[in-house]
């Protein structure tokens, strides 16, 4: 919803300035991926559409789609939190990146209360994105306890990849499992970097996520 709003503002600026090369940049930009892991296509409580994660899993990744058996009253929405993708061995997502020069914001949603047949206190894992280790020996359960929150979001800004694919790998520690409830892959258009005047105009409050 925020992105949509942002695009509207960009389009208004473009129609005022009629700079065609910028228009080209924007059309080449990726659409955000908003994925409910282990889920099916659904809208969240805010009316945002979430897609299943399955088609982005690399071939050979062994995983389980699970549904939580506890719904915490603090959850803002069942989507994406009540379903999860669980990995008992290394699992990799491959996300297409159209504009290899754009930065990417990766948002990981975690809701660690309880999944049938899995003991959440045995979940420790690493997350590597585009070759960069984002989380290591990570326990979503311990993090949630530390935050006194049932669910939380981890947000990462990734430098331009110069690659048409963003690989995100979940690797459980020995004897442990990894899981994730939701993944968002949001391109940050290169115009925010290359044209400070425009970035100032567009960035002002239009997208709280892009704080640089």
Ligand X SMILES: *[C@@H]1O[C@H](CO)[C@@H](O)[C@H](O)[C@H]1NC(C)=O
Q: Does 31 bind ligand X (CB under 6 A)?
A: no
Least distance CB 109 / ligand X (angstroms): 21
The secondary element (H helix, E strand) that includes residue 153 is: strand 152-158
Least distance CB 161 / ligand X (angstroms): 28
Q: What number of chain residues touch ligand X (CB under 6 A)?
A: 5
Q: Does 114 bind ligand X (CB under 6 A)?
A: no
Residue in 15, 74, 137, 211 binding ligand X, rule: CB under 6 A: 137
Residue in 58, 121, 163, 201 binding ligand X, rule: CB under 6 A: 121
Span interacting with ligand X, options 35-43, 104-112, 120-128, 152-160, rule CB under 6 A:
120-128
Q: Closer CB to ligand X, residue 8 or residue 121?
A: 121
Measure the CA–CA gap between 29 and 190, rounded to whole angstroms.
Answer: 9
3-class secondary-structure state, position 171: strand
Span interacting with ligand X, options 16-24, 26-34, 60-68, 118-126, rule CB under 6 A:
118-126
Q: Does 49 bind ligand X (CB under 6 A)?
A: no
Residue in 119, 133, 194, 201 binding ligand X, rule: CB under 6 A: 119
Q: Does 8 bind ligand X (CB under 6 A)?
A: no
Residues 82/68, Cβ–Cβ less than 8 Å: yes
| Closest C-alpha to 127, from 97, 92, 153, 159 | 92
3-class secondary-structure state, position 196: helix
Q: Does 115 bind ligand X (CB under 6 A)?
A: no
The string over 50-77, giving b where at least 16 C-beta atoms fall within 10 Å of a residue's C-beta and e elsewhere, is: bebbbebbeeebebbebebeeeeeebeb
Burial group, residue 204, by CB count within 10 angstroms (0-12, 13-18, 19+): exposed
Q: Which residues contribute to the site for ligand X (CB under 6 A)? A: 119, 121-122, 124, 137
């Amino acid at each position: 919803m925020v992105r949509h709003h942002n695009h509207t503002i960009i389009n208004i600026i473009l129609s005022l300035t009629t700079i065609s090369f910028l228009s080209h940049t924007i059309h080449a930009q990726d659409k955000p991926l908003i994925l409910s892991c282990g889920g099916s296509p659904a809208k969240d409580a805010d009316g945002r559409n979430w897609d299943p994660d399955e088609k982005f899993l690399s071939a050979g990744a062994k995983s389980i789609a699970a549904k939580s058996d506890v719904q915490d009253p603090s959850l803002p929405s069942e989507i994406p939190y009540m379903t999860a993708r669980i990995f008992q061995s290394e699992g990799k997502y491959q996300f297409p990146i159209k504009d290899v020069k754009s930065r990417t914001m990766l948002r990981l949603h975690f809701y660690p209360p309880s999944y049938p047949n899995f003991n959440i206190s045995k979940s420790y894992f690493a997350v590597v994105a585009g070759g960069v280790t984002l989380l290591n020996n990570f326990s979503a359960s311990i993090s949630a306890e530390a935050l006194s929150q049932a669910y939380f979001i981890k947000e990462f800004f990734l430098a331009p990849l110069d690659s048409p694919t963003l690989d995100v790998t979940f690797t459980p520690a020995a004897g442990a499992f990894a899981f994730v409830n939701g993944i968002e892959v949001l391109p940050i258009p290169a115009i925010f970097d290359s044209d400070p005047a425009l970035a100032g105009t567009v960035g002002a409050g239009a997208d709280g996520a892009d704080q640089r």
